Chains A and B, each alone.
Chain A
């Protein structure tokens, strides 16, 4: 059974068509990579999935329910978590408050399951080694720390589907390792992940399946091995090779 299913999603602003007839399924527990050149519409697709942008056509099914008309907040409460390309952390709030606000927004039954929210906040910060900064404003964290905090917050607030937009962008190589570990931890916990990345070896090492987008369309999909060998990917990503 597909956890997420997109059919015929299109989106445009005025005359400018940004997404065209996007359709794919994501099975529960899969890690799916979404790659493509800059401006190919990956972030826009995530914005449509998160509920910030309304598609001009098509439907989005989550756990077999149609969520196309639901607000972003409703989708989040259903278990769709988002990690933003530019760090979706509230910089004017403390680390503690950053986690707490997400836990408090959960549906009531989920909150009760979690028990004492302050304890969960402690565990979340502990998980990414930020306990000692609990009372500090999140604005003073480094990019890598913000990314770790955002992923940990999404995980601890019980999300089932993760939309990660370039989780290693702006993160040092050392921290990239930590981010990768966190993503593998998501897989171990049976979470489903859609991940946008430009780092192809990284995608190859963690994904079950890769979808390649170009100018708002899906041009290729398959296992990382298949996609890597494909000539189309070479052309889209690195430009046409003059020697061939």
Chain B
């Protein structure tokens, strides 16, 4: 039973961040490959504030500010670079942020991470956590669903299909894309405020490349831009990812096997959606 609660919690905690990122990469088709860089800084800002102030409110606010700051840095880059350039640079920024965290030993304890992260008083058991994060996830799904069908969602789709056509009908690209990055930051704040509390540990390895691959996989498999599709694939693929633990494998093998599995799922999803994933740009 505890394992079921655990899975529900993991799914629910990731939901806001993934749905937020889905607006940028899935629906907006913006090649921003640094969402884990945003998560990383958000989690550290939130945990360090908590350690130093003992205030959950301040911890959340610090996380939100950090998320907005880093997410808007990516937004700024996206306005200055072409799609391919942004893809490469955003990966580099993620690595750069990781290097900063790992090397600021005094503040972050580097690769050791920060143990003993306090949980909010009402979140002591796994089931409490599952229920609370579940409620947050459901709210995130509903909010994303309505945003997706709003004027903002239409603007984002129009820009994704052809930014000239969209601008010609009056859609402001900067304005719309900035909002997409802000929504991604808000989602990331909820996820990365809760995640270290759930583990009672903040560890940089949770924000490495393999976590990013999981995001991409979930969005591609769930149908980029679709809220219900991505929410469903988050749940299914998280179950798949966590059940690897039950296969009798040496501990050292779990990581590589998991990555290979991700690779296979991505491969299948891309094959399946070959034509619709990123349709070729048309001439004007």
- Which residues on B sit within 8 Å (CB–CB) of A51? 167
Size category of the A interface is: 20 to 34
Query: Do A90 and B171 have beta carbons less than 8 Å apart?
Result: no
- The answer to whether the Cβ of A101 comes within 8 Å of any Cβ in the partner chain is yes
- Give Cα A101 to B171, complex, Å: 8
> With A and B bound together, what is the CA distance between A76 and B163 in angstroms?
13
B116-124, B150-158, B259-267: which lies at the interface: B150-158
Q: Is A169 part of the contact surface with B, judged by Cβ < 8 Å?
A: no
Given A86-B283, A88-B162, A90-B157; A71-B172 close (CB under 8 Å): yes
A143 to B74, CA, bound (A): 38
Q: Does A92 contact B (CB under 8 A)?
A: yes
Q: A242 to nearest B CB, angstroms?
A: 35
In the complex, whether B248 has a CB less than 8 A from a CB of chain A is no
User: Closest CB of chain A to B192's CB: distance in Å?
Assistant: 32
Interface residues of A in 62-105 (CB under 8 A from B): 71-73, 76-77, 81-82, 84-86, 88-93, 97, 100-102, 104-105
Are the C-beta atoms of A105 and B283 separated by less than 8 Å? no
Q: Are B165 and A72 interface neighbours, CB within 8 A? A: no
In the complex, the chain B residue whose C-beta lies closest to that of A105 is B170
Indicate which residue in A71, A72, A82, A93 contacts B158 across the interface (CB closer than 8 Å): A93
Q: Is A52 an interface residue (CB 8 A)?
A: yes
State whether B172 touches A50 (Cβ < 8 A). no
Known A72-B167, A85-B283, A104-B155; further 18 A-B contacts with Cβ < 8 A: A52-B167, A52-B284, A72-B168, A82-B168, A84-B165, A88-B162, A88-B168, A89-B165, A90-B162, A90-B166, A92-B279, A93-B161, A101-B151, A101-B154, A104-B151, A105-B155, A106-B170, A157-B169
B residues contacting A by CB (< 8 A) are 151, 154-155, 157-158, 161-162, 164-173, 279, 282-284
Q: List 7 A-B contacts (CB under 8 A).
A: A43-B284, A81-B168, A88-B162, A88-B168, A91-B161, A101-B154, A105-B172
